[in-house]
Amino acid sequence: MGCMFSHLAAKFAFFPPSPPTYHVTTTPDGKLTAVSSSTSSTFPAAGDASLDVRVVKTRRGNKVTAFYLRNHNARLTLLYSHGNAADLGQLFDLFLQLKVNLRVNLMGYDYSGYGASTGKPSEYNTYADIEAVYECLQTEYGVGQEDLILYGQSVGSGPTLHLASKLPRLRGVVLHSGILSGLRVLCHVKFKFCCDIYSNINKIKKVKCPVLVIHGTEDDVVNWLHGNRLWKMAKEPYEPLWIKGGGHCNLEIYPEYIRHLYRFIQDMENTTTKSRLKKIWQEIRRRDESKGCCSFRLCRPKCPRCPKPSCDCSCGCCKWSCPSLKGCFSCCKKPSCVSSCCKCSCLSLKGCFTCWKKPSCVSNCCFPKVKCCSCFGKPRCPKCSCWKCLKCPEPECCCCAGCFSWLCCCGGGRRKEGETRGRTTMAKSGG
């Protein structure tokens, strides 16, 4: 049923140029070359090393046409997924400008059913198309995901985020007039429907690299709110570019477009794996500090003075290191002590006492079971308001707030009534 709806949605979502603006021919020496069907764009002569024409077979049996534009000064490669109602013949001049101005190698391709590519356009065909082109970049040009930036325009944001969600070490992503989903372009909905295509609203959360969002404020095809929502949902959002007065298909003519895009490329070139990890850890630390020392609620030691409880679960959500505690604080919220000194199972845990490993109880249910110690449960002296030298003469006393069997260093406090009177009488006779 979902497949049928996907094919139905494809009839309204894809509008390949008809006839195509170019076709592919084979030279006498067996190389592929592109020939323009109009005078609007001119391709390099056959044998020009700056352009490679490729035909790539996808896992769904279609043959996809791709252009690889080589820049000898480039360090990164841009994989461009174009928008609707366009093909490589119309975009070739733009590719030349991006290659030169951004100093990148550029790979552009036509979806199944577009340009010289075979098959019919559909959501899942575009996913297979971009996967095949990426594999071609790996095998034919030695481009790894660490040196790759994915660029998706409009409908192209769908296959772009599909591939980006599967590449954890990708260098960066650019979303140009991106969409939240196909159905959300037509109407404002908050739920997922079986007939919807390109669910970018869910895939953007899985992208682990910097994401640049470019959108025009006057876009009458894909509302600016789509780009704004994608930017807010990105895990590592880059400074967005909102082009004031920009529409859906004319953002390239604005000077700030190429300037901002060039700065993003430069930042990605200067970004190493080590610096990216450092930045991520700084962001995690900043979020933890804003929430408090610990991310869990039961035990909150004052880092780094108190021992930090540890997690032995596989999720890796805890970052503490106390060997006497096990369990995940971020998930199950119930730390337990494996040491023999801890036998309290009360859920009202807060801090530690005695061995500095056992969580203490803040409710009254556990107080009668606690033995007296020199560091827990002593009231403040009413005479000097200090906590020092509070010694209890009763070995079995619970030392709770209602206990009066304590004596401060200043002489304040009270012992048992009989013992206090006896000491007072001895003091007078001695004087």
What is the H or E stretch that residue 140 is in? Answer: helix 123-141
Contact 155, 110 (CB under 8 A): no
**How deeply is 139 buried, as exposed, middle or buried, from its count of CB atoms within 10 A (0-12, 13-18, 19+)?**
exposed
Residue 173 lies in a domain: yes
Contact 313, 319 (CB under 8 A): no
Residue 306 lies in a domain: no
Which one of 52, 147, 196, 219 is the catalytic residue? 219
Residue 219 lies in a domain: yes
What is the rounded CA–CA span in Å between residue 88 and residue 109? 7
| Of 140, 164, 138, the residue nearest 150 (C-alpha) | 164
Report the domain count for the chain: 1
Q: Is the pLDDT higher at 183 or at 319? A: 183
Q: Is the pLDDT higher at 314 or at 70? A: 70
Residue 56 lies in a domain: yes
Q: Worst-scoring range by mean pLDDT, 107-116, 160-169, 280-289?
A: 280-289
Contact 320, 311 (CB under 8 A): yes
Residue 187 lies in a domain: yes
**pLDDT grade, residue 21 (50/70/90)?**
very high
Residue 14 confidence (pLDDT): 84
Residue 193 confidence (pLDDT): 63
pLDDT > 60? residue 405: no
- Report the b/e string of 378-405 with b at 16+ CB within 10 A: bbebeeeeeeeebebeeeeebbeeebeb
Residue 167 lies in a domain: yes
Residue 323 lies in a domain: no
Which one of 41, 81, 117, 154 is the catalytic residue? 154
Q: What is the per-residue DSSP string for 178-233?
A: --S-HHHHHS--SS--TT----HHHHGGG--S-EEEEEETT-SSS-HHHHHHHHHH
Residue pLDDT, tens place only, 349-401: 444 444 444 444 444 444 444 344 444 445 555 555 554 444 555 544 444 44
Residue 176 lies in a domain: yes
What is the rounded CA–CA span in Å between residue 173 and residue 238? 10
Residue 353 confidence (pLDDT): 40
Q: What is the per-residue DSSP string for 48-88?
A: -TTEEEEEEE-TTS-EEEEEEE--TT-SSEEEEE--TT--H
Tell me the HSE value of 234 on the side-chain side, using a 13 A CA sphere.
Answer: 24
Residue 50 confidence (pLDDT): 85
Residue pLDDT, tens place only, 300-337: 443 444 444 444 444 444 444 444 444 444 443 444 44
228-233-239-244 Cα dihedral, nearest 10 degrees: 0
What residues make up the domain containing 72?
A: 1-23+51-280
CATH of the domain at 154: 3.40.50.1820
Contact 215, 245 (CB under 8 A): no
Q: Is the pLDDT higher at 137 or at 190? A: 137
* Model confidence, pTM: 0.64
Q: Is the pLDDT higher at 416 or at 185? A: 185
Q: Is the pLDDT higher at 285 or at 405? A: 285
DSSP secondary-structure letter at 156? G
Which one of 162, 176, 248, 260 is the catalytic residue? 248
**pLDDT grade, residue 204 (50/70/90)?**
very high
Residue 275 confidence (pLDDT): 74
Residue pLDDT, tens place only, 92-136: 999 999 999 999 999 999 999 999 999 999 999 999 999 999 999
248 is catalytic: yes
Residue 9 confidence (pLDDT): 52
